[in-house]
Amino acid sequence: MASQNSPLVIAKAIQNQLSGIISPIKVYSNFNRNYATEQKFVTWHLRNVHQPVYTGIYQANKGIDRPTFQMSVFTTKMNDGLDIANTIIQSLHGYSGQFGGVDGFQISKADVTLLYHGYDDTTALHTVFMDCIIDIPT
């Protein structure tokens, strides 16, 4: 029987991986977004943990776990947001290896998709939304 990482392990790895990519820019889990006062910060939230991906003739062998997390880059200047998004894409898209530092886990591949850019006039912040799917062998 294959084993899968707990959502807590995956969440810690996402936080560590993103923080390592864009430091010193702050990285928050999604619930802290409204409390951030920085002119540049990134939030993320995790979804689709343990979705069923089967391999083999009878599709009974667990082969890979593919959690998805969404990233939101918030900045007061559009150029800064797109630059931060590009830094994340260049570092993370196609990455394979140890994800999340020493307390993380091995991944086969990370796929990053830039979804869209937006602007919220009530907060005066540009936002770049991205998705990342990580392939974790089980």
2 is a domain residue: no
pLDDT of residue 100: 96
Q: What is the pTM (predicted TM-score) of this model? A: 0.87
> What residue ranges of the chain have pLDDT lower than 50?
1
1 is a domain residue: no
pLDDT of residue 18: 97
54 is a domain residue: yes
The percent helix, strand, coil of the chain (3-state, each to 5) is 30, 40, 30
Task: State the CATH number of the domain containing residue 13.
Answer: 3.30.2000.10
26 is a domain residue: yes
CB atoms within 10 A of CB 27: 20
pLDDT of residue 25: 95
Residue numbers of the domain that contains 130: 7-137
The total number of structural domains that make up the chain: 1
Give how far Cα 57 sits from Cα of 54, 60, 62, 65, 135, Å: 9, 8, 12, 18, 20
